[in-house]
Amino acid sequence: MVASQFWQKRSLTRLKDLNNRTTNAASLTFRQSIFPLCLVTLLFFLWGFSYGLLDTLNKHFQNTLGITRSRSSGLQVAYFGAYPIASLGHAAWILRHYGYRATFIWGLFLYGLGAILCIPAIIAHSFAGFCICIFIIGNGLGSLETAANPYITVCGPPKQAELRINLAQAFNGIGGALAPLLGSYVFFGFDKEKALRNVQWVYMSIAIFVFIIAGVFLLADIPEITDADMARQEEEAARKKEPHGLPFRKQYRLFHAAFAELCYTGAQVAVGSYFINYVTETRPGTDSATAAKFLAGAQAAFAVGRFVGVGVMTCFRARKVFLVFMTMCWVFTAPAITQRGNVGMSMLYVVLFFESICFPTIVALGMRGLGRHTKRGSGWIIAGVFGGAIVPPLLGAVADSRDGKTGTAVAMVVPMVFFLAPWTYALAVNFVGSYRQAVDAFVGGDVGNGGEGVAMGKRCEDGREGTVVVKPVTDVENMTSIKLAD
């Protein structure tokens, strides 16, 4: 009986058609949200590690397989090109029909599957085959991001959404710093066959760990948050007269955020992907293994920037911090183009430090006020990660131009140009009234800050105004059915 109830509560069919019903999951207090947030934060570490590993493999395959810089960017094309397929396709469908838990498990399954398939591709010395495996991994990570980013922002008090997502993304930065450090010891300094065997063992370990985490998500009791929950949270936090908001096609702020994410992610990935190339070309006597250690240091600066950003956001509004950090990204990329040696490399360190909060803050601000469109909107913003498949090949092509004489340093002009689009979004959320009001409306919201629950006005059956206290629970049996407007 106990086992039957346990599996019944985790049955995916029970999560169908819940989007029009309210639960109490969106009213969780900070203390009540700690466990699910810690579990989801582990996913941020996983894809940070995977992304950091990709930057190291970029240079590794140039050395072991003898491919050009522009061709090695095929890894980024495969990895980030999978994101819109996941976030606007299969992951978005699973998220809307079966919920967050199912999407987490699906993403982890694809991640593990791709990691296992990497092994025969490496044995065959097939760069194209490895790119296909990376494409599968990208679909898995795209699925995880489609669910994890909105989950972090909505699971807990709305006014702390930016803090939560930046803190969770800080662990993404830690994973991104550890991966190139590991790569510097196991990918470089060996003969080709030994180095490729080491890559096989790394991906085997990743697959085992990922499948274990998938099992944890299957067994764990985490709250599901529906579209109706988000509509209610939007109504309470923003005090809107029209609780159901605008139709999706008129969410212009969301589309601006998605475009900003597209250009920003492309620029960030381009800087990280060619960091090792930049250092080996501009710093005399630096080999790939040493440059990989420098990349680990740069990723550590990225992780530190996230923790610093979270601290600053406790004193200043997230939109203001975002504007400063985004401006600094653009400012410090410029001297990296003209300077060489330690000076140029230090400029990229500073760029990575200021890149730290930009991606998660765009996600959090872009989903403000979406209400029942939150899950769908998340797919559009995460689809912006596709920029990582666009900008690195452009940088590689510029670096390879004139028979490679242009070089990686001059090619850094490409990410500098792409930093301008997210900068316009940072300006908009600070100086355009409709943007600023949508963001600031949630800062004063009381959802999730009322101890046991949040008091919400509700009309009684006899017409009198009453107040009920909603006590957050995670059981989807405790639900009220409502009808959402189109």
What is the chain's mean pLDDT, rounded? 78
Residue 229 zone, left/alpha/beta (φ > 0; ψ -120 to 50; rest) = alpha
pLDDT value of position 467: 36
Q: What phi and psi, each to the nearest 5 degrees, are found at residue 171?
A: -75, -25
Domains of the chain, start order: 25-226+245-442 (1.20.1250.20)
Task: Give the β-pairing of 21-22 and 454-459.
Answer: unpaired
Give the whole-angstrom CA distance, residue 189 versus residue 170. Answer: 30
Instruction: Over range 296-308, report the average pLDDT.
Output: 87
pLDDT at residue 200, rounded to an integer: 84
d(CA 429, CA 453): 31
Which residues 6+ apart lie within 8 Å of 248 measured at CB? 373, 376, 377
**Residue 321 in this model has a pLDDT that exceeds 90:** yes
In degrees and rounded to multiples of 5, residue 370 shows phi and psi of: -75, -25
Q: Which of 30-44, 91-105, 150-164, 190-204 bottoms out in mean pLDDT, i.e. has the lowest?
A: 150-164
Closest CA to 18 of 254, 200, 326, 230: 230
Give the model's confidence band at 16: pLDDT under 50 very low, under 70 low, under 90 confident, else very high: low
**Of 221, 8, 3, residue with least CA distance to 101:** 221
SS3 252: helix
Does the pLDDT at position 448 exceed 60? no
| Longest Cα separation, the chain | 82
The answer to whether 46 and 176 have CB atoms below 8 angstroms apart is no
Query: What predicted TM-score, i.e. pTM, was given to this entire model?
Result: 0.70
pLDDT at 480 over 60: no
Q: Is 214 left (phi over 0), alpha (psi -120 to 50) or beta?
A: alpha
Place of tokens 């029942």: 372
Confidence check: pLDDT of 446 > 70: no
SS3 466: strand
Residue 231 has a pLDDT of: 63
Condensed to tens digits (0 to 9), the pLDDT of residues 345-361 reads: 999 999 999 998 898 88
Percent of the chain's residues with pLDDT above 90: 24
Q: Are 63 and 196 in contact (CB under 8 A)?
A: no
Residue whose structure tokens are 């085992």 = 208
Report which of 371, 362, 147, 428 is spatially closest to residue 247, judged by C-alpha positions.
Answer: 371
What residue type is assigned to position 248 of the chain? F
Amino acid 271: pLDDT: 92
